[in-house]
Amino acid sequence: MGGKWRAKSNVVGSQWVLLDIDNSGKDANGEKCYEHQLTLDEALEHPFIQRYCALIYTTASHRTDWHKFRLVFLLPEFVPGYEIVEVLTRYLMKHLPHDPACKDASRVFYGSTEASFPLVQPNVTLPYEWISEAIAVTEREKLEYQKRIAEIEKRKAELRNRAESEGWDTDALIQQALNYIPPPTNWQR
């Protein structure tokens, strides 16, 4: 990141993408709890991981009853900037369990002096074809999203024009709609 603050705009690039597996979720009270994503054994048996993952290492908070580890996937060459790194990370996240919070290209991951390394394959990289597919899928999704946004904006403009031409009292309509919302019950409090 060029010695600057952690921010996407400061990312120089990367030659790897990483998934964080922490098997964590939130309970009904918002407290951290165990939520199965992937165990080390499951990771080691996964065909994609066997073929393309260069390194698996356990984190400092890893326990035998609550696996926490990282999957490191090397890229065949350095990718400049943050955009493509995030595209590749998100595409990888679609195919493997992960901690969804860890998709920012500027995120720094630390090791541990107590780490174990159940998989070390330094000569393995994600193939160029996979990278091209990830970029193409992301571009298609981006175009579809932009199309949906344009349709929504068009409908909003049409509705706004109709409201103006027909002289709707939007405040009264909103008040009327709010009257249909039932009051909270005891189980909702």
For the segment 45-54, what is each residue's pLDDT rounded down to a tens digit? 999 999 999 9
Residue 35 · residue 24 · CB < 8 Å: yes
Alpha helices per DSSP H over 98-127: none
From its phi and psi, is residue 81 left (phi > 0), alpha (psi between -120 and 50) or beta?
Answer: left
With residue 89 as reference, give the H or E element that holds it. Answer: helix 83-95
| Top mean-pLDDT range of 38-42, 57-61, 113-117 | 38-42
Closest CA to 63 of 109, 18, 24, 27: 24
Does residue 71 surpass a pLDDT of 80? yes
- Residue 7: its pLDDT value, please? 64
pTM greater than 0.75: no
pLDDT tens digits for 90-143? 889 888 875 555 545 445 566 678 888 999 999 999 999 988 888 898 889 889
116 residue type, one letter: S
- Residue 189: its pLDDT value, please? 55
What would you measure as the largest C-alpha separation in the chain, in angstroms?
A: 70
187 CB-near residues (< 8 Å, 6+ apart)? none
Could you give the CA distance from residue 30 to residue 24 in angstroms, rounded to a whole number? Answer: 12
More confident residue, 72 or 26: 72
> What is the b/e burial string over 105-125, where b = at least 16 CB atoms within 10 angstroms of the residue's CB?
bbeeeeeeeebeeebebeebb
> To 10 degrees, what angle do helices 128-166 and 83-95 make?
100
pLDDT tens digits for 135-188? 898 889 889 999 999 999 999 999 999 999 999 998 898 999 998 888 887 765
Could you give the CA distance from residue 175 to residue 187 in angstroms, rounded to a whole number? Answer: 25
- Please give the C-alpha separations between residue 150 and each of 44, 146, 157, in angstroms, as whole numbers: 44, 6, 11
Topology (CATH) of 8-126: Alpha-Beta Plaits (3.30.70)
CB count, 10 Å around CB of 49? 19
